[in-house]
Amino acid sequence: MSIQVSAPGRRYAEEQLVGMYDRLFQELRKRPGVLAVTVCSGVPLHGLRFEANFWRPRVEPGPPQLPSRATANLTSPGFFEVLRIPLLAGRDFLPEDTGPGARRVTIINDTLRAHFFPNENPIGQVLRHDFMDNTAPAEVIGVVGDVRRFGLQVAPTNEIYMPFGQLQVRATEIVVRTAPEQTQAVARQLRTWVGEIEPQLPALVGMELKGGFARTVGRELVLSTLIGAFAVVCFLLSGLGTYATISYAAAQRTREFGIRAALGASPWNILGQVIAAAVRWVVYGVVLALCAVLALGRFLSQQIAGAPAFELRSFLFAAGSVALVALVACIGPALRAVRLSPATALRRE
């Protein structure tokens, strides 16, 4: 969970911010249910957003470089562990990286690494950025996994992380990871705890649980629920239609089956003919359905985040269910045909 706070300048000088957050974190970690605490300038999916230009300094003289854009985020040590963002290479920020006079360092995401360091190791390379008008060179010390900061439907963008302390913003987000069974208890107490520890640190907005994830996928949830409801209705209609069609077709052959029985066909032979006819039409329908799934699957996967273009288990479940309905539909007429007296069938004919 996270809560936005703002450190007013009249109460906290810039050189006091790092110490204030360290003190706040140490006290929060002692509270029941709190596993880890960190601070950042923007939590993915709902937090504040900062952008900056960045570029790689030229080793050799040449024309001026055009800067690229990246999302910038100030974080404290442990931020990636709290949010479970994997560290792919290098190291995380350390406490000694957070001082105002510390060596400038930065961490980049995997998308930026792929675009600007495709065939080389980025660790130890130098970047410049203009975040908060600070263009001092910063050494790349780590690469972390991509985060879909702006929603599941938006591809990850270039992102750079700087240690909170070297650069500072007053509006930040305190991020807390809790024990699952104590989440609600911590949610009820977190604002009170922050007020007790730092009475002069006002909260800007209310708390967000799970990073506000549900709010960012509202459209996808509505769409998937709607499609799911349509799928259930279509499934029931297909089962009813299959049952009615197979049952009617088999019933039309009742006298034929009686005549076959009169001419010596065994009950198993008649039952096999009914089932074979039903299976043949089910196979035709499954083949047509497979073509429709392959044609429409890619479109649907673009509308719902995480939905695959073709999901084998779902298709096999649907096809198997329709086949089962068809089998049940033909059993009744087949049994009636088997029980029909051959003499009765011949008299009718």
Q: Which residues does 298 contact at the CB level (< 8 Å), separation at least 6?
A: 309
Determine which of 77-81, 160-164, 289-293 has the lowest per-residue pLDDT on average.
Answer: 289-293
Asked if the model's pLDDT at residue 100 lies above 80, the reply is no
List the domain boundaries for the chain: 2-216, 219-348
- Cα–Cα distance, 68 to 131 (Å, whole number): 12
Q: CA 232 from chain center: how many Å?
A: 24
274 near 258, Cβ under 8 Å?
Answer: no
Asked if the model's pLDDT at residue 196 lies above 60, the reply is yes
- Cα–Cα distance, 60 to 54 (Å, whole number): 18
pLDDT in tens, 175-188: 899 988 888 888 88
pLDDT of residue 114: 92
Top-confidence residue, 257 or 158:
158
**CA nearest to 310, candidates 321, 320, 299:** 299
pLDDT of residue 224: 81
Residue 161 DSSP symbol: E
Produce one character per residue of 77-116: b if its CB has 16 or more CB atoms within 10 Å, e if not.
bbbbebbebeeebbebbeeebbeeeeebbbbbbbbbbeeb
Residue 294 identity: L
Asked if the model's pLDDT at residue 149 lies above 90, the reply is no
Residue 31 identity: R
Confidence of residue 31 (pLDDT cuts 50, 70, 90): very high
Top-confidence residue, 26 or 152:
26
pLDDT of residue 86: 95
Give the chain's mean pLDDT.
82
How does DSSP assign 23-56, residue by residue? HHHHHHHTSTTEEEEEEES--TTTS--EEEEEEP
Determine which of 210-219, 275-284, 319-328 has the lowest per-residue pLDDT on average.
Answer: 210-219
Confidence of residue 290 (pLDDT cuts 50, 70, 90): confident
Residue spans of beta strands (DSSP E) within 76-158: 87-90, 105-109, 126-129, 138-144
User: What percentage of residues in the chain have a pLDDT greater than 70?
Assistant: 88
Mean pLDDT, residues 276-298 taken together:
84
Asked if the model's pLDDT at residue 112 lies above 90, the reply is yes
pLDDT in tens, 330-340: 777 667 766 76
Mean pLDDT, residues 305-321 taken together:
81
18 near 165, Cβ under 8 Å?
Answer: yes
pLDDT of residue 18: 80
Mean pLDDT, residues 26-37 taken together:
91
pLDDT in tens, 265-284: 787 887 788 778 878 888 88
pLDDT of residue 99: 73
